[in-house]
Structure 1
Amino acid sequence: MKQGTIVFLNGTSSSGKTSISNELLNHNEFAFHHVSIDDFFKRLFGDYIDFINTTCASAESADRKAEQVPNDILIDPLVELFFSTVKFMSAKGMNVVVDTVNDSDERLNACLRLLSDHPVLFVGVTCSKEELMRREKLRGDREIGLAISQYDNVYRLHEYDLELNTETLRSDECANLIVDFLRSNREYTAFQKLSHRSVGVS
């Protein structure tokens, strides 16, 4: 069975990934399935995360290193499951649009390890820090400054098959450029190049 194409949108929160994903779903030429990390956590693990937050609400961390323990124990394995789900869907021949934030070495390297043997179109979704702040204020459902806190880690990568600036391009224009790339049958090389080197934050 032919593996489905994975369109991986790399960008911070509020950079425009979900809007582009929604536009791709409207294209008839390619049947896409949108897999969002936000939906993955809320729909599949919302009750579980609520249970953990409620049960452990009174527990206080002894130091800052201890505060990272819940993330290492709970969140990182769920992120791996997210990428494993994307891999499974591609293996079943489904075209997948991935909407997540890779803001740590652990997440990015898990992604590279799991998906490097699948066809991944790696797309950089960018805009200025000023625009990210403006969008956060308009949205009202994101902590102001979240995107800026992710910015340096998310955009430390400079290897893309396609780069899209959502400050100068509308979501439908971005989606059309992605479809044009897929239609051209050009080779996807960025993800493979990243997977053959150690990724870390300097």
Structure 2
Amino acid sequence: MYDEIPDTGGPGTVILLNGTSSSGKSSIAAELLRILDGTWFHLPVDAFHAMRGGEIAPDDLQAEIDRTAKGFHRAVAGMAAAGNNVVVDHPLSRRWRLLDLLDLLPPERTLLVAVRCPLPELRRREQARGDRQTGLAALQFDTVHAHGPHDIDVDTSAHSPAECAALIRRALHAAPRPTAFETLRRTLR
């Protein structure tokens, strides 16, 4: 009995929150965990970066970030493949990140959310936080949503995290077909 790998059913659902640094992804994720039915996990890429120990030479920083992101993608895919529902907090600021996730996540069970915020507000939030590289949001601003369609867009300058989460929950229950991931997989792969 204890030697059998448990059957966990089909894959879980993935809500992928795509936005720049300081756009409000983590705040929305916290609200989603509060209002979604069933069990959900919040998987923020920042948590994976926070697990890293040791010093990184400046010349090695981008390669380290890329390896961490690739590992993070596989951890997310593994959680979903095992039947877990996950809210993912990750900026698709580099095209390869989206392409990698298109190969890993179940496209029919992935809701891609554009978390938007005007650049002046992002700059204000970065300065107020003090725990982020100033200017990171500006560096990501033009690329994070450049890949194409999302299933839903939310604007954190116009709506609270709770309001954004409620909009996302409604979109999840509306089950758009084809999903943005299905469309992107067909057009980009």
Shorter-chain TM range is 0.7 to 0.9
1:113 positional shift = 1.7
Map residues 122-141 of structure 1 onto 2, 5 A cutoff: 122-141=112-131
- The two structures have a TM-score, normalised by structure 1, of 0.82
Partner of 1:41: 49
1:198 positional shift = 3.1
Structure 1 runs (4+) deviating above 4 angstroms are none
CA deviation vs aligned residue, 1:165-188 (integer Å, no higher than 9, x gap):
111010001111111222334435
Number of equivalenced pairs: 181
Q: Which piece of structure 1 moves more, 160-169 or 190-199?
A: 190-199
Indicate if the aligned counterparts of 2:15 and 2:110 stay in contact, CA closer than 8 A.
yes
Q: Which piece of structure 1 moves more, 22-31 or 123-132?
A: 22-31
In 2, Cα distance between equivalents of 1:9 and 1:112: 15
CA deviation vs aligned residue, 1:56-105 (integer Å, no higher than 9, x gap):
47xxxxxxxxx4x6533x33232111111111111111110011112112
Q: Which piece of structure 1 moves more, 99-108 or 88-97?
A: 99-108
1:9 aligned to which of 17, 21, 40 = 17
Map residues 50-199 of structure 1 onto 2, 5 A cutoff: 50=54, 52-53=55-56, 56=57, 67=59, 71-72=62-63, 74-117=64-107, 119-187=109-177, 189-198=179-188
What percent of counterpart residues are identical?
Answer: 37
In 2, Cα distance between equivalents of 1:187 and 1:197: 15
Q: 1:140 to 1:159 in 2, by over 3 A?
A: same
Partner of 2:28: 20
Which amino acid is 2:129 matched to?
A: R
- The two structures have a TM-score, normalised by structure 2, of 0.87
In 2, Cα distance between equivalents of 1:144 and 1:151: 13
Which amino acid is 2:104 matched to?
A: L
Q: Name structure 2 gaps, 5 residues minimum.
A: 1-8
Which amino acid is 2:105 matched to?
A: L
